[in-house]
Every structure is written in structure tokens, then in C-alpha cells.
């Protein structure tokens, strides 16, 4: 079945550091890929998505590129802020937009220190 493996946390960075959170997937067909973020005390929010190979999703300075050849969707940000401290989840779904069930990774907790 479909599965997602993401980088174990926690990750601790200083403000303005470069962030990479690795995510690889196993899936049949052509899944859509997502990054969701969970800020402390809040619900899951969609951060960005990509629906086909070589697509780049981006939002709030975060980027991820759908790499079919390496089955990866790594999350990057050039300069993190304290407000980026949260848990980040990589996920996939079986349809182009995401309305079938989502399969999530275990999450990576990011703490950014001033």
C-alpha cells in the first residue's frame, strides 16, 4: 500500500537558518503530495501541494518539488523564523487533487530559536 517516510525529528534551528525536511513516498499510480503544518494548539493546515511530477508547491517561503525519479517531496525554506515552529507532516493521496484518503508521515517537529 501507499506509505510516507519523513525525517525523524525533532529539528532545532536558529532564526534565519536553512531548513530541509526530507520526505519520501511509496505509491502506486500518480499520487498527489502535500505538506501540512500543525502549529501549537491548532489544527492541521495545508502548507503546500503538488499534483504531478516536477511540480513545485510553494507558500509562505516554503517550497517542495515533486520528484518522481527519487520518489521524494522534500520541504525547504531559505530562512526560518521563530513563528515557523510547528510540526510538519508530509502526506500523499491517490487522486490528483487529494479527495481520496490521505496517508501521512509521522511528522517532524521544528523548533526555531531566536
Q: Tell which one of 13, 27, 100, 111 touches other proteins (CB under 8 A).
A: 100
> What does the longest C-alpha to C-alpha distance in the chain come to?
43
Q: Which of helix, strand or coil describes residue 98?
A: coil
Whole-number minimum distance, CB 113 to other proteins, in Å? 22
By CB under 8 A, which span of 16-24, 60-68, 72-80, 97-105 interacts with other proteins? Answer: 97-105
Q: Tell which one of 22, 51, 65, 71 touches other proteins (CB under 8 A).
A: 51
Pairing state between β 86-93 and 62-65: unpaired
**Residue 7, φ and ψ in degrees, nearest 5:** -55, 135
Is the bond preceding residue 10 a cis peptide, omega within 30 degrees? Answer: yes
Annotate each residue in 65-94 with x if it binds other proteins (CB under 8 A) or - if it does not, as one string: ------------------------x-x-x-
Amino acid at each position: 500500500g501507499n506509505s510516507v517516510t519523513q525525517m525523524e525529528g525533532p529539528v532545532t534551528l536558529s532564526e534565519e537558518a536553512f531548513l530541509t525536511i526530507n520526505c519520501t513516498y511509496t505509491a502506486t499510480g500518480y499520487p498527489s503530495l502535500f505538506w501540512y503544518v500543525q502549529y501549537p494548539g491548532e489544527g492541521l493546515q495545508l502548507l503546500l501541494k503538488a499534483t504531478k511530477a516536477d511540480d513545485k508547491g510553494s507558500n509562505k517561503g516554503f517550497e517542495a518539488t515533486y520528484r518522481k525519479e527519487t520518489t521524494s517531496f522534500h520541504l525547504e525554506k531559505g530562512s526560518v523564523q521563530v513563528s515557523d515552529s510547528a510540526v510538519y507532516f508530509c502526506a500523499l493521496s491517490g487522486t490528483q487533487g487529494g479527495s481520496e484518503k490521505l496517508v501521512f508521515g509521522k511528522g517532524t517537529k521544528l523548533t526555531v530559536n531566536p
